[in-house]
Structure 1
Amino acid sequence: MASVEERPLFSPETFSAFSYRDFRVLWTATFVRSAALALELVARAVLIVELTGSAVLLGAVLAAWMAPNLLLSPFAGVIVDRYPYQRVWIGSFLANAVASGVLFVLLIVDQAQSWQVIALSALSGIGFVFFNLARRALLPVIVESAHLRSATALSQTGQTSVKIGGALLAGLLLSIADFTWMFGLMTAFSSLAALLGGMIQTRQHPKPDGKEEVRSIVGQITAGARWAIDTRWPIAVLVISAMSYMFLQPYEAVLMPLVVIDELGQHRSWVGYLAAVGGLGATLGAVWLASLKEIRSPNLLMVGLIATGGASLIGIALAPHLAVVAVCVFFATACVYNMATVANLALLAHAPEEMRGQALTLMNLVQGTILIGALIAGALVESLRPQGGLLTMAACLLGASLLALSMPRVRWWLWRRRMYTDLTAADWMRASEGDR
Structure 2
Amino acid sequence: MLEVLGNPRFRAIWYVVNVAELTRWMELLVTSVLVYSLTDSALMLGLVLGFENLPRPIFSPFTGIIADRFDRKKIWVSSMVIKLGAGAALFLLLFSGNIAPWHVFAAMLAQGISRALEDPARRTAIFDIVGERRVVNALSIDSMSGTMGRMLGPFAGGFLIEHVGYFWPHYPGYTWAYVAVVTMHVAALLMAIRVIIPRVEREWRVEPIWNSLGDVVRAAFSHRQLMGMLFITIMINGLAFPARQFVPAIGRDHLNVGETLVGVLAAAESIGQLVTAVILASVGSIRYHGRIFAIGAFSVMITSTIFVWSPWYAATFAILVLSGIGLSCFGTMQGAITMRSSPPEMRGRMVGLQSLCIGIGTPPGVLLMGWLGDVIGIQTSVTLNALVCIAISVPALFLTPLVTRPSQPPPVTQPQSGPA
TM-score (norm 1): 0.87
The answer to whether the Cα contact below 8 Å between 1:84 and 1:207 also exists between their aligned partners in 2 is no
Partner of 1:180: 175
Q: In the alignment, which of 300, 313, 316 is matched to residue 307 of structure 2? A: 316
Partner of 1:353: 344
Alignment of 1:30-429 (within 5 A): 30-177=17-164, 178-206=173-201, 214-253=206-245, 255-368=246-359, 369-404=361-396, 407=398, 409-410=399-400, 413-420=401-408
Structure 1: 5+ residue runs without aligned partners? 1-13, 425-436
Alignment of 1:4-19 (within 5 A): 14-19=1-6
Distance 2:181 2:118 in 1: 15
The answer to whether the Cα contact below 8 Å between 1:68 and 1:122 also exists between their aligned partners in 2 is yes
The answer to whether the Cα contact below 8 Å between 1:303 and 1:401 also exists between their aligned partners in 2 is no
Q: Give the CA RMSD over aligned residues.
A: 2.0
Q: Which stretch of structure 1 is more off in the superposition, 125-134 or 177-186?
A: 177-186
The answer to whether the Cα contact below 8 Å between 2:223 and 2:341 also exists between their aligned partners in 1 is no
Change (3 A) 1:25 1:31: same
Distance 2:183 2:364 in 1: 31
- Please report how far the alpha carbon of residue 206 of structure 1 lies from its aligned counterpart in structure 2 after TM superposition: 5.0
For residue 325 of structure 1, what is the amino acid of its counterpart? T
Change (3 A) 1:194 1:242: same
| Counterpart secondary structure, 2:4 | helix
Distance 1:198 1:423 in 2: 37
Q: Which stretch of structure 1 is more off in the superposition, 368-377 or 65-74?
A: 368-377
For residue 308 of structure 1, what is the amino acid of its counterpart? S
The answer to whether the Cα contact below 8 Å between 2:224 and 2:402 also exists between their aligned partners in 1 is no
- Please report how far the alpha carbon of residue 275 of structure 1 lies from its aligned counterpart in structure 2 after TM superposition: 2.0
Distance 2:393 2:200 in 1: 42
String of CA shifts for 1:139-176, please: whole Å, max 9, x gaps: 12222332222111111111112221222212221221
String of CA shifts for 1:91-133, please: whole Å, max 9, x gaps: 1111111111101100000011111111111001101111211
The answer to whether the Cα contact below 8 Å between 1:15 and 1:150 also exists between their aligned partners in 2 is no
TM-score (norm 2): 0.91
Distance 1:244 1:403 in 2: 14
String of CA shifts for 1:213-264, please: whole Å, max 9, x gaps: 52332222111112112223221110011122112221112x2111001111
For residue 119 of structure 2, what is the amino acid of its counterpart? N
For residue 200 of structure 1, what is the amino acid of its counterpart? V
For residue 408 of structure 2, what is the amino acid of its counterpart? Y
| Counterpart secondary structure, 1:351 | coil
The answer to whether the Cα contact below 8 Å between 2:56 and 2:113 also exists between their aligned partners in 1 is yes
For residue 79 of structure 1, what is the amino acid of its counterpart? I
Distance 2:222 2:312 in 1: 50
For residue 201 of structure 1, what is the amino acid of its counterpart? I
| Counterpart secondary structure, 2:83 | helix
| Counterpart secondary structure, 1:179 | helix
Partner of 1:29: 16
Distance 1:183 1:335 in 2: 31
May I ask how many residue pairs the two structures share in their alignment?
Answer: 403
The answer to whether the Cα contact below 8 Å between 1:240 and 1:302 also exists between their aligned partners in 2 is no
- Please report how far the alpha carbon of residue 74 of structure 1 lies from its aligned counterpart in structure 2 after TM superposition: 1.2
For residue 241 of structure 1, what is the amino acid of its counterpart? T
- Please report how far the alpha carbon of residue 388 of structure 1 lies from its aligned counterpart in structure 2 after TM superposition: 0.4
* Rg comparison, structure with higher value: 1
Partner of 1:5: none
Change (3 A) 1:351 1:315: same
The answer to whether the Cα contact below 8 Å between 2:370 and 2:378 also exists between their aligned partners in 1 is no
| Counterpart secondary structure, 2:385 | helix
Change (3 A) 1:294 1:380: farther
- Please report how far the alpha carbon of residue 36 of structure 1 lies from its aligned counterpart in structure 2 after TM superposition: 0.8
Distance 1:314 1:232 in 2: 29
